[in-house]
Structure 1
Amino acid sequence: MNGTEELFHRLLAALGRLALNPFYYISILFVVIQYRRHIILERKFFASRLHSLGQETWRTVVWGLAAGVIASLVLAGTGIRLEPGTVVLLWGLTLGLLFLRVRFLCLAYSAGLLGLLHLILPQLPGWGSHSGYDWFYRAIDGVDVPSLFVLVAVLHLLEAGLILLQGDRLATPLFIESKRGKIVGSYQLQGFWPVPLFLLAPVASGGVGLPWEPLLAGNWGAVQWDFLAFPAVIGFTGMTLSRLPRPKLRQTAGLLTLYGAVLLAGAMLSVFWTPFGWAVAILSILLHEAVLAYGDRLEHKSGPFYVNGPRGLTILAVLPGSPAESAGLGVGEVLHKVNGMRVQTKEELHEALRLNSAFCKLEVLNLEGESKFVSRPLYEDEHHQLGIVIAPDDDAPYFVEEKTFSFPSYVRRKWMGVLRNERQQGL
């Protein structure tokens, strides 16, 4: 059996080990909890759901697997060194940070912290002298800083691609209280993908030689290699009340691409200049925070977009399979007239719809402010507002307030998160 065939058989064995890895199922469970919360919010606000739990979970798992294959192929060429102890420490730190904030479910934070621990702890007096902690000492000493941050950079570049391809499917419309105390429409943008990675790792014995020369492997020909199954989670979270979901997601993807490129360059530089590992570990955390802060700053500079005004009622969402969807109505457009009647409130909309119970004529202002006309018959079993979710007014019975929260509180509130009702504030 030649080296390529042996590698293929070892890859199949790694797939089997992934099927027994509890961390992979933990990541899928987290995704299920996220989607369940989205659907509960949709039903609470709109008495309908915009997403399917089964379909969205299946789609996310499949796309995460595809991303894992791409990342594994890219990383196989780099020869990054991740010891099994490094993987365990990464997951331990990730789960610990998750209990502080859900948005910390990102390798940027756990890898940055692990890199700092690798650089700081061995310098402390008495390091390695306590019996019973030998595994921990070996795991910390075995961290390869350049490999660690090449992994983080590649995953963030993949995340940017997944956001462009899939992110708008994870946009959930909500009613939110603005800083001025006004209830406005918004979109929660949040998605996570479980990404199984199959990384080539050096082993002391029982491995196989590589038929190619990895970029970072050094004396690669004298080292034996095997596949290490590493389930990771990538994802993003955010909210927009001043823009359409798609432009906001493009902005997020662009910032993450920049982050991944800078971190990749820093990781490569640390290969040739070891002290730069300090800078890369710190950049992993601070630059990620800067990306989030910059996105929030751009968001807050603009006023609310999903509000009703003199022109009419702003469309916050269109229910799937509804008359509004079949008529081509879109998010952000404005209902100007219904059956010839100007509408600026929900009450006026309902009154205008009652003018003709069998037929409906709409004048809608598109995103460019130009009028378009839609007419269609009405049927008894259709949504009372044609499947249109309009921007809220100050009498909205439910709203949320954006705030980060920890995973325990997330579960404790039965996946309802920030929801409060009957005019009470959110978290």
Structure 2
Amino acid sequence: MAEAWAIELFKGLGRLFLNPVFYLVFLAAAYYGIQRVNRERQHFLVRAENAYFELKQLVPLGFILGVSLSLITVLAGLTVPIELLVFATVATIILMLTPKARWATPAYTVSIGFILTFFALEQNWPLPAFISSQVEGVEYLLPAAAMIIALLVIAEGIMITINGPKGTSPRLMKSRRGQVVGMHEAKRMWLLPLFLLIPGDAISLDSTWWPLFSIGDQSYALVAVPFAIGFQQQIQSKFPAVAVAAYGKKVIFFGALLLIIASGAFVYPIVSLAIPVLAIVGREWLNYRQRSVDAKAAFYFAKKNDGLMIIGVVPHSPADKMGLKVGETVLKVNGLQVNDEKGFYQALQKNAAHCKLEVIDTNNENRFVQRALYKTDHHELGILFIKEEFKKSHQAV
């Protein structure tokens, strides 16, 4: 028994590399990184994080979550038809080709796959010749698929809460009054590999072992499925890290609500049909609500009468080494009051070997930072400010 599981585990991992989504998420993450760097250079003449930042965020947390969810789905005996994986993969590929990164996430892709699977099994739609389905009826599979949608929504919320606030990208735009203001954007693609059980001939299981439901002497195969989790959020009215984390917690709560509803499907299978609809509508409502509230509030990154607000900090720059943070306001440079970017750099030249800054942190408390300057240092300390002028061709949309 243990040997059969070990063999199937390695075979399942091999199936991971047969799924085109596995490769597309890397291409998408690389594209988002290049796109971000180009925009930041247009707006600030320098980029914040390098173009590999999105790629570095792609796997680590998703792998941890994938292992955790795999244990839950396998130990609970959540079995899904191969049709669900096929349709979810097709939906993912199509939605990844759209400009909206947030659409390429399980709340949409797996929900669409669920709906198409229901009709495919009910209407006996033919599958490609290289895929063999061993499903007769859909009743016992619907609750499991609904539970997996809910679990993936929770995983998405965790990814947003933990990884979303990291390295949000600054950008400039013009307000309705024509003033140059700042905002932040998070646009990511994450990979969550998940082992799922599908009806097959690989592993024969004792039906009494499963805690949720019994399906006789059916055999199963393990398949490692690469789920793409896309995320995109623009923040203009709050501190970026706080706003993104708060949004992620709402997604977690929504996923937990879906999980509670989906658990009822094991008693009333018809309930599971509501899960994909609720997942799509609920995620759209959360996104609409976030954008609506954010658009009506005042801009967080706007010009101040006293000082200059930091909208971005280049990693490993003098500013980063001095501990300067996004959202802080520089009041004085080398003892001189500054109100614009030109005055900031003029005051910086007062002492080319050393700089001392007085700043107001995000808790509205004053503090002083200082550092020796070297010829190899970034010539602008690595601080990104709101520009005095902003070309219309570069305006954020």
TM above 0.5, yes or no, is: yes
Q: Distance in 2 between matches of 1:29 and 1:152?
A: 25
> Are the structure 2 counterparts of residues 333 and 109 from structure 1 closer, same or farther at C-alpha, using a change threshold of 3 Å?
same
Deviates more, 1:281-290 or 1:148-157: 148-157
Q: Deviations 1:81-113 (Å, cap 9, x if unpaired)?
A: 222222111111232334454321122123333
> Are the structure 2 counterparts of residues 140 and 113 from structure 1 closer, same or farther at C-alpha, using a change threshold of 3 Å?
farther
8 Å contact from structure 2 (residues 166, 241) kept in 1: no
Displacement after TM superposition at 1:306 (Å): 0.9
| Residue of structure 2 equivalent to 1:8 | 6
| Residue of structure 2 equivalent to 1:57 | 55
Displacement after TM superposition at 1:200 (Å): 1.8
8 Å contact from structure 2 (residues 171, 185) kept in 1: yes
One-letter amino acid matched to 2:156: E
| Residue of structure 2 equivalent to 1:85 | 83
Q: Deviations 1:231-254 (Å, cap 9, x if unpaired)?
A: 111132101112222211221121
| Residue of structure 2 equivalent to 1:306 | 301
1:279-298 equivalence runs, <5 A: 279-298=274-293
Displacement after TM superposition at 1:426 (Å): 4.8
> Are the structure 2 counterparts of residues 206 and 161 from structure 1 closer, same or farther at C-alpha, using a change threshold of 3 Å?
closer
1:190-209 equivalence runs, <5 A: 190-203=187-200, 205-209=201-205
| Residue of structure 1 equivalent to 2:209 | 213
Q: Distance in 2 between matches of 1:338 and 1:108?
A: 49
1:396-411 equivalence runs, <5 A: 396-397=390-391
1:313-392 equivalence runs, <5 A: 313-392=308-387
One-letter amino acid matched to 1:396: F
Q: C-alpha root-mean-square deviation of aligned residues, in Å? A: 2.7
One-letter amino acid matched to 2:215: N
1:153 aligns with 2:150: yes
| Residue of structure 2 equivalent to 1:20 | 18
One-letter amino acid matched to 1:38: R
Q: Distance in 2 between matches of 1:23 and 1:377?
A: 48
8 Å contact from structure 2 (residues 33, 52) kept in 1: no
1:246 aligns with 2:238: no
| Residue of structure 1 equivalent to 2:108 | 109
| Residue of structure 2 equivalent to 1:34 | 32
One-letter amino acid matched to 1:109: Y
One-letter amino acid matched to 2:147: V
Q: Distance in 1 between matches of 2:206 and 2:49?
A: 45
| Residue of structure 2 equivalent to 1:409 | none
Displacement after TM superposition at 1:378 (Å): 2.7
1:337 alignment partner, SS class: strand
Structure 1, gaps ≥5 residues long: 399-419
1:243-282 equivalence runs, <5 A: 243-282=238-277
8 Å contact from structure 1 (residues 146, 277) kept in 2: yes
Q: Distance in 1 between matches of 2:14 and 2:120?
A: 35
One-letter amino acid matched to 1:111: V
> Are the structure 2 counterparts of residues 275 and 321 from structure 1 closer, same or farther at C-alpha, using a change threshold of 3 Å?
same
Deviates more, 1:52-61 or 1:262-271: 52-61
One-letter amino acid matched to 2:142: V
> Are the structure 2 counterparts of residues 310 and 110 from structure 1 closer, same or farther at C-alpha, using a change threshold of 3 Å?
same
Deviates more, 1:266-275 or 1:237-246: 266-275
Q: Distance in 2 between matches of 1:293 and 1:212?
A: 45
1:192 alignment partner, SS class: strand
Q: Distance in 1 between matches of 2:3 and 2:121?
A: 40
> Are the structure 2 counterparts of residues 88 and 179 from structure 1 closer, same or farther at C-alpha, using a change threshold of 3 Å?
farther
8 Å contact from structure 2 (residues 87, 117) kept in 1: no
> Are the structure 2 counterparts of residues 276 and 17 from structure 1 closer, same or farther at C-alpha, using a change threshold of 3 Å?
closer
Displacement after TM superposition at 1:72 (Å): 0.9
Q: Distance in 2 between matches of 1:226 and 1:165?
A: 32
> Are the structure 2 counterparts of residues 13 and 120 from structure 1 closer, same or farther at C-alpha, using a change threshold of 3 Å?
closer
Q: Distance in 2 between matches of 1:278 and 1:208?
A: 29
8 Å contact from structure 1 (residues 94, 106) kept in 2: yes
1:134 aligns with 2:126: yes
| Residue of structure 2 equivalent to 1:172 | 169
Displacement after TM superposition at 1:384 (Å): 2.9
Deviates more, 1:75-84 or 1:50-59: 50-59
Selected match of 2:225 from 230, 238, 243? 230
1:94 aligns with 2:92: yes
> Are the structure 2 counterparts of residues 277 and 350 from structure 1 closer, same or farther at C-alpha, using a change threshold of 3 Å?
same
8 Å contact from structure 1 (residues 185, 316) kept in 2: yes
One-letter amino acid matched to 2:151: V
Q: Distance in 1 between matches of 2:369 and 2:4?
A: 63
8 Å contact from structure 1 (residues 333, 367) kept in 2: yes
Q: Distance in 2 between matches of 1:324 and 1:349?
A: 13
Deviates more, 1:18-27 or 1:327-336: 18-27
Deviates more, 1:277-286 or 1:315-324: 277-286
> Are the structure 2 counterparts of residues 354 and 65 from structure 1 closer, same or farther at C-alpha, using a change threshold of 3 Å?
same
> Are the structure 2 counterparts of residues 303 and 426 from structure 1 closer, same or farther at C-alpha, using a change threshold of 3 Å?
closer
Structure 2, gaps ≥5 residues long: none
> Are the structure 2 counterparts of residues 22 and 281 from structure 1 closer, same or farther at C-alpha, using a change threshold of 3 Å?
closer
Q: Identity of aligned pairs, percent?
A: 27
One-letter amino acid matched to 2:351: N
**TM-score normalised by length of structure 1:** 0.83
2:59 alignment partner, SS class: helix
